[in-house]
């Protein structure tokens, strides 16, 4: 097929129901959704870890533990 034929087929699909997803496609979608949620949680956790460092810098407090001294 030519490029113009491929574009036509991509933009002009038959009306009706979407084809059913098989188990593999459902699993992929589930894992992609889970991955996105976990990436959001990781970003939040990283921000929460950095928060005490930023607060101590603003207040001028040294956060080193007794073992590090």
Q: Is the per-residue pLDDT at 9 higher than 70?
A: no
What percentage of the chain has pLDDT greater than the value 70? Answer: 74
Q: For the chain, what is the total number of helices (H) and then of strands (E)? A: 2, 0
What pLDDT, on the 0 to 100 scale, is given for residue 15?
79
- Euclidean distance between CA atoms 1 and 59, whole angstroms: 67
pLDDT one-digit tens code per residue, 30-43: 999 999 999 999 99
In a domain, 4, yes or no: no
Higher-pLDDT residue of 41, 21: 41
For residue 27, the enclosing domain spans 21-62
Tell whether 28 is covered by a domain. yes
What are the structure tokens assigned to 20, written together?
A: 């059913």
How many structural domains compose the chain?
1
Give the number of other Cβ atoms within 10 Å of residue 3's Cβ. Answer: 7
Q: Is the pLDDT of residue 68 over 60?
A: no
Q: Please check whether residue 68 lies inside any domain of the structure.
A: no
In a domain, 1, yes or no: no
State mean pLDDT over 23-52.
96
From CA 12, how far away is CA 29, in angstroms rounded? 25
How open is the CA angle 51-53-56, to the nearest 5 degrees? Answer: 110
């Amino acid at each position: 097929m030519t490029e113009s034929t491929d574009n036509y087929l991509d933009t002009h699909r038959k009306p009706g129901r979407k084809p059913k997803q098989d188990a593999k496609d459902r699993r992929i979608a589930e894992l992609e959704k889970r991955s996105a949620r976990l990436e959001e949680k990781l970003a939040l956790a990283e921000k929460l870890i950095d928060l005490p460092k930023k607060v101590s810098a603003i207040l001028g407090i040294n956060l080193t533990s007794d073992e590090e001294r």
